Amino acid sequence: MNTVDVKAAEGYGTTGGTTRARPDEDAAVRLRDVAKSYTTGEVEVPALRGITFDIPYHRFSMVVGASGSGKSTLLNLIGCIDAPTLGSVQVCGEKVGTLDDDALADFRAKNIGFIFQTFSLIPVLSAFENVEYPLVLVGTPEAERRRTTNALLEAVGLAAHAKRRPNELSGGQRQRVAIARALVKAPQVVLADEPTANLDSETGASIVELMRRVQAESRTTFVFATHDPQLMSQADETFVIRDGTLIEHRTQRSAP
């Protein structure tokens, strides 16, 4: 395992509370001096304290840290569903801070897939329809939608359960549907926030294995927020966050 301590990387380090990773022109995600704070009553609570790093394309990257460290906030910023208080976020070459709300929604629809801890499937839609949903949003023709959706359900082993509603599926099956939904539009980046947290260890392991396999096949950039050791062990890149600050960047597997 090739581990890189970002603090020791040449030309980069902690300056004035800002931790920097090696920038990469081909980065899927580029964060520059990103800070995010929330206001609770009259108290301002910092969640991120000026983070700068790049996440390369086609990698299985993990943002790890304890609860409250800011990893979910970081994922929200990368997923363009939240805006930084300071700094800039660039995803797939797009400076998302310049986009208005509708443009951001369109950007997410085309480029970003989400996998949530609680699966977040739409309860009134079948497994097939849940997976098909992102394709409807980007205007994919029906025949292509049907073909792609069936292929993804086949890939996650749920072809036989296509007509079932989420409440008729187990937790592991739901998360498989969620994975298929995240991948069906072939996004540039898939963000997964604690995807195994609500699963037992055996199911979690199978989900991790599934995601690893589809990532290897699709070469989609996966970014996880997790503190699941099982998942962390699969990381190509690991970004360690503590108290809103990047304290370590490790590269476990070299890019192919």
Partner 1 sequence: MSLLLKTAARNILRNSRRSFMTGSAVAAGALAMTLFGGFVSYIFAGLETSNVQRVGHLSVFRSGYFLFGSGNPAAYGIDDYRRVMDLIAQDPVIGPRLSVITPTQSLVGIAGNFSGGNQASKTFFGVGLIPSARDRMLQWDERHTGQVHRPDGRLSDDDQSRGLVGVGLARILALCGPLHIRDCPPAPARGSEPGDATKPREDLVRLAELDGAPSSETKSVSPRLEILSATAGGAPNVVSLAVAGAEAQGVRELDDNFIAMHLGLAQQLVYGRGEHKATAIVLQLHRSEDMAVVRTRLERLIADDHLDLEVRDVRDLSPFYVQVVAMFGAIFIFISLVMGVIVLFAVVNTMTMNVMERTNEIGTIRAMGVRRGGVRMQFILEGALIGALGAIVGVILAVAIAALVNGAGWTWIPPGNSSPTAFKVNVLGNPMLIASAWAVLTLVATAAALIPANRAARLSVVDALRHV
Which residues of the shown chain bind partner 1 in the complex (CB under 8 A)?
76, 79, 81-82, 101-102, 105-110, 112, 114, 116, 118, 120, 122-125, 129, 133-134, 136-138, 181
**Closest separation in Å from C-beta 238 to partner 1:** 24
Nearest approach in angstroms of CB 126 to partner 1 is 10
Question: Is the Cβ of residue 58 or residue 110 nearer to partner 1 in the bound state?
Answer: 110
61 alpha carbon, distance to own chain's centre = 9
Q: Which is nearer to partner 1, 70 or 250 (CB)?
A: 70
Under 8 Å between Cβ of 114 and 182: yes
Q: Which two tokens stand for residue 66?
A: 């304890």
Nearest CB to partner 1, comparing residues 30 and 36: 36
CB atoms within 10 A of CB 205: 15
Q: Which residue, 184 or 235, is less far from partner 1 as judged by CB?
A: 184
Q: Give the ranges where the chain is alpha helix by DSSP (H).
A: 71-78, 101-111, 127-137, 142-155, 171-183, 201-218, 229-232
3-state secondary structure of 182: helix
* CA distances, 28 to each of 49, 93, 98, 133, 154 (Å): 21, 7, 17, 24, 28
Q: Closest separation between CB of residue 36 and partner 1, Å?
A: 10
* 180: CB partners within 8 A, 6+ apart: 131, 149, 152, 153, 155, 156, 158
Residues with Cβ within 8 Å of 236's Cβ and at least 6 positions away in sequence, in order, are 59, 60, 61, 251, 252, 253, 255
Q: How far is the CB of 123 from partner 1 (least distance, A)?
A: 7
- Closest approach, Cβ 81 to partner 1, in A, equals 4
Nearest distance from C-beta of residue 181 to partner 1, angstroms: 8
- Alpha-carbon dihedral angle through residues 194, 198, 202, 207, given to the nearest 10 degrees: -50
Cβ proximity to partner 1, 27 vs 80, nearer residue: 80
Q: Which is nearer to partner 1, 57 or 107 (CB)?
A: 107
Least spacing, CB of residue 37 vs partner 1, in Å:
14
Decide whether 31 or 235 has the Cβ nearer to partner 1. 31
